[in-house]
Chain A
Amino acid sequence: MSDSLEVKELDHVVVRFSGDSGDGMQLAGNIFSTVSATVGNDICTFPDYPADIRAPQGSLTGVSGFQVHIGAGKVFTPGDKCDVLVAMNAAALKTQYKFAKSTACIIIDTDAFGEKDLEKAAFTTQDPIAELGIKNDVIAAPITQMVKDCLADTGMDNKAVLKCRNMFALGLVCWLFNRDLNIAFTMLREKFAKKPELAEANVKVIQAGYDYGANTHSSVAHTYKIESKTKVPGKYMDIMGNKATAYGFIAAAEKAGMRLFLGSYPITPATDVLHELSKHKSLGVTTVQCEDEIAGCASSVGAAFAGALAVTSTSGPGVCLKSEAMNLAVITELPLVILDVQRGGPSTGLPTKSEQTDLLQALFGRNGESPMPVIAATSPVNCFDSAFYACKMAVEHMTPVVLLTDAFVANGSGAFRLPDLNEYPAIVPPYAPAEMKGSYTPYTRNEETLARYWAVPGSEGYTHILGGLEKDGRTGAISTDPDNHDKMCRIRAEKVARIPVPDVEVQGCVEDAELLIVGFGGTYGHLHSAMESMNAEGKKVALAHFTYLNPLPANAESVLKKYKKVVVAEQNLGQFAAYLRMKIDGFAPYQYNEVKGQPFVVSELVEAFTEIYNK
């Protein structure tokens, strides 16, 4: 063994931690990504939940994975395949091996590959490596035994000891990437501040894992280093999309000086937003877990009527149920944000998987002429801004707004530079001015925005009625007059159409692209990576990725018509393409569609786009 194992410099690396759902893979992954982010690497993570929540230990359906992509420059996706696969048991190796590159290094705990383990993982021979045809470097370490030895004199019981196995694997990975363990130690000591013995046990095991790698040099030719190239100075935290969404709502409420109200009903994959907001009562956040999806939306409409910044959170099936109450917010012109964390459909579909199949539902899935702004978040971190601006739009334009995220961005995470709220714009509700006291009617509008003036119950001199029936545009009284209805439909549509939204940005070969990739929402990272990789091959490709879907940015038409070839890539059967064709005369894009419930795979995108490029 030589002491001078070569250190290779990498631009980016993907590590996948996998094991039984109880093995703490997410924690190991989180610490690794934070340790990397602390030295200025960019990070992007994605958890892969087990198919079966109550699967027996060691079984194939109980495997949970956590993928971390770290890069010297910006990283946009959690990565297609991994460079390092940690498999804490036989079932994990069996199910996760397909996510490993042919050059990947595989780390296994040989103690979890006993006869029983192999049987549970449906291996038919005693040699899983050969059986799967694995030719990669494999670090086969008796992790369980080493953890037991390491903690033998701590007096911890066997169960608690076994829970530390993840830290050994983490230590080994940290060694492989020359990571500074002190950052991990600090994190663990903070996390287990109330149980210092546990923190120290974990610290000990990480160190043991690291030392094991260093002492044996394991069976690898070299270790790696990822330098940081695009450091943006500042304070950061790792944030998951759902949490970023919740934070965006909180920030908007604070900025607007309004009480944040969430009416919701648990539904995968949106429930974490309810969980997150329910925690923050010290900020005055009011959450009501309702009897059903309908009440989640209806109570939010009631709260908006009473003057709150009202939000309801759900996924596609919940939107189906909420749509009548969403329409009540359309006709009463009350501010409301409807969060749809999209999952696989139709019906119950694929509850834990990700799609973009609710777009047309968000845009059009209600009775009557029902214009509604739609915003789609592009990444876990972008959920914050999208939520903030959805609230701003709802309040300032007196309209319900749909915020689309998806299971992928909701559960993924990224490095979040702590926002300074002073740098965010004010949110100014169009409260009825004092001169309207005594003569206020609810559908008097701001001439420029067409937003109606808002009078909140409790204010003297502004009593009024709102309702689901069509009303006279002037007096607010019920009206069935044909011309009035026609006019009201047009005004509500025009109000939404007038909402100013930022231009869509073109990235890549802005001037001379042969092919423009077009997407929206959560596929941003994958589409951007595909573009970068084609640019690197010398192909002239650009990307126009949309966050604001209704209204479309003012430059949408000129951008979409500027390039020779356009491909609209989306995780549905062509909803955004259809919408763009409807909005933009003569727009005839190529389409790339996939509804697998899985994130796009960049290499597949590149292949498909190249084919179009070469046509």
Chain B
Amino acid sequence: MCEYTAKDYKKGQPRWCPGCGDHFFLASLHKAMAELGVAPHDIAVISGIGCSSRLPYYMNTYAMQTIHGRAAAIATGCKVANPNLSVWQISGDGDGLAIGGNHFIHAVRRNVDLNMILLNNRIYGLTKGQYSPTSPRGFVSKSSPYGTVEDPFRPAELCFGARGRFFARAVATDATGTVEILKAAAQHKGASVCEILQNCVIFNNGTHDSVATKEGRAKNAIYLRHGEPMIFGENNEYGLMQEGFGLKVVKLGENGVTEKDILVHDAHCQDNTLHLKLALMEGPDFPIALGVIRDVEAPTYNDAVHEQIEDVKAKKPYHNFTELLYTNDIWEVK
């Protein structure tokens, strides 16, 4: 059924720095769209401002690069006005979580059927290197020469705090992993948040080093797949188990632990407690979770808006302007 190739979604020559994670992500997005088979003219890609927000210029779809932080709000209007479009919102960590934080949480809360991509490089690249809301405490940058004195957002926490029904994570340099979550995001009906760990080679090089390469991911990441046991490690020798209120890493075969003891991923579980724990795991004690961490069905805002319109149309007796006029108290002057 797939009648498109990645080329059909491609346009222009990206201007990002050589080696920038955005290049990798863009290629995966083209590929994912081709595999999804949605016609380019039925897609709208909407971004804000920032390095990653240049992305719509490289899409042979309908696209709009807008203003800083507002992509989620603009994408919401676009999707509600024309629900047949497949709408992708592209933001960086500054665009999406700092200046656009309010729109981010409300788009997630409303569950607008948007594919919300958050390219997280933990830095402001376009303005040349200031700390962002995802930079770790103590981070030294041009605007924090002595280190930041604030804690970062963890995107998953915000997403789940806003009742997010879909959260996935991939490393930009991992094409397979990225394409997989993008496709899942597109197929999920509702707000799908994809955190892309993206390297900024200029201002924050190596921020995602531990998982940047295949070898690194084998050691430091776990790919979560619905229905499969949570096993990871270079030789699949580790697994995750629940312990008390938390998770723990165990070695298979040690202390009598077998595959049967390992947690099986349930992305569709309504309760987000474990999803959040998985999403917040970080090194060195835990692997970083990649893949679709949460994917739960719920009514979408755009569907609900239009269902309500149809509902009211069926119930109310007036359907055009003139009929509307006559619902008022009218008098006649002869």
- Mark A residues whose CB is within 8 Å of B: 34, 37-38, 40, 183, 187, 190-191, 228, 231-239, 247, 250-251, 254, 259, 261, 263, 280-286, 288, 290-292, 294-295, 298-308, 310, 324-325, 327-328, 332, 418-419, 421, 456-469, 477-478
Contact B103 A298 (CB under 8 A): yes
Closest 3 interchain pairs by CB? Answer: A302-B77, A299-B77, A303-B81
| A306 with B77, Cβ < 8 A, contacts A457-B62, A465-B65 known | yes
Q: How distant is B29 from chain A, measured CB to nearest CB, in Å?
A: 15
- Closest B residue to A462 by CB, please name it: B41
Q: How distant is A366 from chain B, measured CB to nearest CB, in Å?
A: 12
A-B contact number at CB 8 A: 213
Q: How distant is A612 from chain B, measured CB to nearest CB, in Å?
A: 38
Contact B82 A457 (CB under 8 A): yes
A40 in complex: contacting residue of B76, B330, B333, CB < 8 Å = B333
State A236–B81 Cα separation when bound (angstroms). Answer: 33
B305 in complex: contacting residue of A38, A254, A286, CB < 8 Å = A286
B243 within 8 A of A: no
| 12 A-B contact pairs sorted by A residue (CB < 8 Å) | A38-B333, A281-B308, A282-B312, A282-B315, A283-B324, A291-B73, A299-B73, A302-B77, A305-B77, A308-B81, A456-B82, A465-B65
Which B residues from 304 to 319 make CB contacts under 8 A with A?
A: 305, 308-309, 311-313, 315-316, 318-319
Contact A236 B73 (CB under 8 A): no
- Closest A residue to B311 by CB, please name it: A281
Contact B70 A325 (CB under 8 A): yes
Contact B74 A302 (CB under 8 A): yes
B321 in complex: contacting residue of A254, A263, A290, A291, CB < 8 Å = A254
Contact B325 A237 (CB under 8 A): yes
Which B residues from 74 to 98 make CB contacts under 8 A with A?
A: 74-82, 84-85
Q: Provide the residues of chain A in CB contact with B106, threshold 8 Å.
A: 290-291, 295
State A228–B319 Cα separation when bound (angstroms). Answer: 35
Q: Provide the residues of chain A in CB contact with B81, threshold 8 Å.
A: 259, 261, 286, 302-304, 306-308, 310
B59 within 8 A of A: yes
Contact B331 A236 (CB under 8 A): yes
B150 within 8 A of A: no
- Closest B residue to A40 by CB, please name it: B333
B207 within 8 A of A: no
Q: How distant is B239 from chain A, measured CB to nearest CB, in Å?
A: 41
A463 in complex: contacting residue of B12, B61, B82, CB < 8 Å = B61
B285 within 8 A of A: no
Q: Provide the residues of chain B in CB contact with A282, threshold 8 Å.
A: 309, 312-313, 315-316, 318-319
State A328–B67 Cα separation when bound (angstroms). Answer: 7
Contact B39 A460 (CB under 8 A): yes
B260 within 8 A of A: no
Contact A468 B65 (CB under 8 A): yes
Q: How distant is B250 from chain A, measured CB to nearest CB, in Å?
A: 43
Q: Provide the residues of chain A in CB contact with B60, threshold 8 Å.
A: 463
Contact A461 B41 (CB under 8 A): yes
Which B residues from 17 to 69 make CB contacts under 8 A with A?
A: 39-42, 44, 46, 49, 56-57, 59-67
Contact B40 A463 (CB under 8 A): yes
Q: Which of the listed residues B49, B80, B84 has the most CB atoms from chain A within 10 Å of its own CB?
A: B80
State A299–B80 Cα separation when bound (angstroms). Answer: 9
| A464 with B62, Cβ < 8 A, contacts A235-B331, A284-B313 known | yes
Contact A283 B77 (CB under 8 A): no
A305 in complex: contacting residue of B41, B78, B320, CB < 8 Å = B78
Q: How distant is A5 from chain B, measured CB to nearest CB, in Å?
A: 28
Q: Provide the residues of chain B in CB contact with A306, threshold 8 Å.
A: 44, 77-79, 81-82, 85
| A303 with B80, Cβ < 8 A, contacts A254-B320, A457-B62 known | yes
Contact B64 A281 (CB under 8 A): no
- Closest B residue to A300 by CB, please name it: B77
B255 within 8 A of A: no
B127 within 8 A of A: no
| A459 with B41, Cβ < 8 A, contacts A259-B81, A294-B73, A302-B75 known | yes
Q: How distant is A236 from chain B, measured CB to nearest CB, in Å?
A: 5
State A484–B40 Cα separation when bound (angstroms). Answer: 29
A458 in complex: contacting residue of B59, B65, B84, CB < 8 Å = B84
Q: Provide the residues of chain B in CB contact with A251, threshold 8 Å.
A: 321
- Closest B residue to A37 by CB, please name it: B331
Contact B76 A418 (CB under 8 A): no
Contact A301 B330 (CB under 8 A): no
6 A-B pairs besides A307-B81, A466-B64 with CB distance below 8 A are A281-B313, A286-B309, A291-B106, A302-B77, A465-B56, A467-B66
A237 in complex: contacting residue of B40, B76, B328, CB < 8 Å = B328
Contact A236 B41 (CB under 8 A): no
| A281 with B309, Cβ < 8 A, contacts A232-B333, A302-B73, A310-B81 known | yes
Contact B329 A237 (CB under 8 A): yes
- Closest B residue to A302 by CB, please name it: B77
- Closest A residue to B62 by CB, please name it: A457
Contact B324 A250 (CB under 8 A): yes
- Closest B residue to A231 by CB, please name it: B333
Contact A233 B333 (CB under 8 A): yes
- Closest B residue to A38 by CB, please name it: B331
Q: Provide the residues of chain A in CB contact with B205, threshold 8 Å.
A: none
Q: Provide the residues of chain A in CB contact with B44, threshold 8 Å.
A: 305-306, 457
B235 within 8 A of A: no
Q: How distant is A387 from chain B, measured CB to nearest CB, in Å?
A: 12
B102 within 8 A of A: yes
State A286–B83 Cα separation when bound (angstroms). Answer: 12
| A190 with B329, Cβ < 8 A, contacts A302-B46, A458-B84, A463-B60 known | yes
Contact A187 B329 (CB under 8 A): yes
Q: Which of the listed residues B46, B61, B333 has the most CB atoms from chain A within 10 Å of its own CB?
A: B333
Q: Provide the residues of chain A in CB contact with B318, threshold 8 Å.
A: 282-283
Contact B67 A34 (CB under 8 A): no
Q: How distant is B64 from chain A, measured CB to nearest CB, in Å?
A: 5
Contact A263 B312 (CB under 8 A): no
Q: How distant is A263 from chain B, measured CB to nearest CB, in Å?
A: 6
B271 within 8 A of A: no
State A456–B315 Cα separation when bound (angstroms). Answer: 31
Q: Mark B177-196, 1 if CB is under 8 A from A, else 0.
A: 00000000000000000000
